[in-house]
Amino acid sequence: MHRAGVLLAIGLMSGPVAAGTESYIIIQTSPLAGFQYHAGRALFPLMSVGDKLTLIREADNPHDPKAVRVEWRGAMIGYAPRVDNADLARMMDHGVPAEGRIVHLQKARDPWKRVLIEVLVPESTP
């Protein structure tokens, strides 16, 4: 489990109460891994807290069979950290839809401190 210990069923997030508004369960909060090796460095100035992230399961990744790629506006910016991705990968492998969002951005020398993400699943997911 991630050193912050915030994996699995932490809380609910929803927008304004309205018909058709979907609620989400926050299942993970993690720093973005590999940020310095992908498009993240160039895109960092364009990113904002609250931006939606696309999560893509990479079961054939030669470095990590439980890899979950993170994309911002179609560009790869990193991965869910290896220490946090086992439960997320398992859920995605079983068809649970997951998405992410940026919850913190910080200009820092340490790439693990630059982008903090939340992973969300729809509350109505079985």
Single out the residue of 22, 25, 99 nearest to residue 57, CA to CA: 99
CB atoms within 10 A of CB 11: 11
Q: Does 126 score more than 70 pLDDT?
A: no
Q: Report percent pLDDT > 90 for the chain.
A: 60
Q: Look at residue 8 in the predicted model and tell me its pLDDT.
A: 38
Per-residue pLDDT tens for 3-58? Answer: 333 333 334 444 443 445 578 899 999 999 988 888 877 898 999 999 999 999 99
User: CA-CA distance, 124 to 22, in Å (whole number)?
Assistant: 8
Collapsing DSSP states into helix, strand and coil, what is residue 93? helix
CA–CA gap between residue 1 and residue 88 (Å, rounded): 11
Taking residue 61's Cβ as centre, other Cβ atoms within 10 Å add up to 13
